[in-house]
A and B are shown apart, each in its own frame.
Chain A
């Protein structure tokens, strides 16, 4: 009787596939993908570059809030040089006067990227998210 039962049991065990190594591999792959998935996060600012064939009208007084960044990284609003820290209050004031106006940043070719990001950030802080980037002629 005893012998008979052990025989059956051994046969049963051999028929079963051992899943443990596969489970190990699957877990390692899972951990790998979870870890790599969280690495591809890069913060940034959305940009809006108008089409070449229909450039935004930057000369229009009421059309847009025009901010000019010149080649010496000075920021101009309304023909005045603005300190980088004062960009946000200036945009806020203009935004309060007419909330529909988008911001157009006209950057000089040789200005630094930091200045562009500063202006864009200031505009977003002033709640104006419609920012177009134009290159100075």
Chain B
């Protein structure tokens, strides 16, 4: 009987204990779920201007694209300025800490870019970034 106890102990030591790893994996999973900001892509590919000093903002989660023919795109939809505001308001409610990133095309007119900036300000978002690519 005593022998059998030591045998079963040896068996247990041979098995890897997965519990601590599982704990770590779960904590990482929860961390990534919490920090993940689900980006809603505007749904159009714009030709962004180049800027050497472009930097990655802390939290940009509302993407507004202004296409080359001055159309607004947000969340896979083409909307006009009046239709843009409720969508930005809703997205701002969902992620209050996220800023606005305006992806303006090279050919987009600044009138529309500035209107989008003003709209973000009206909604109450101070962090507005103008998207650019580092050449």
Residues of A participating in the B interface, judged by any CB pair closer than 8 Å: 1, 4-5, 8-9, 12, 19, 23, 26-27, 29-30, 33-34, 36-37, 39-47, 49, 51-52, 69, 107-118, 120-121, 124-125, 133, 135
Contacts and interface: CB of A to CB of B under 8 A. Distances in A.
Interface residues of B, number: 54
A121 B53 contact: yes
A51 B118 CA distance: 9
The 5 closest A-B pairs by CB, nearest first: A33-B32, A109-B111, A117-B49, A113-B104, A121-B51
B39 A39 contact: yes
A42 B131 contact: yes
Contacts of B28: 30
A44 B26 contact: no
Contact of B54 (A44, A52, A114, A133): A44
Contacts of B11: 9
A113 B105 contact: yes
Contacts, number: 151
A23 B25 contact: yes
A51 B113 CA distance: 16
A111 to B, nearest CB: 5
Interface string B1-45: 000100110010000001000100110110011011111000000
B116 to A, nearest CB: 10
Chain B, interface SS category? mixed
Nearest to A115: B110
Q: B38, B52, B109, B134: which has the most chain A beta carbons within 10 Å?
A: B109
B22 A114 contact: no
A126 B121 CA distance: 27
A108 B109 CA distance: 9
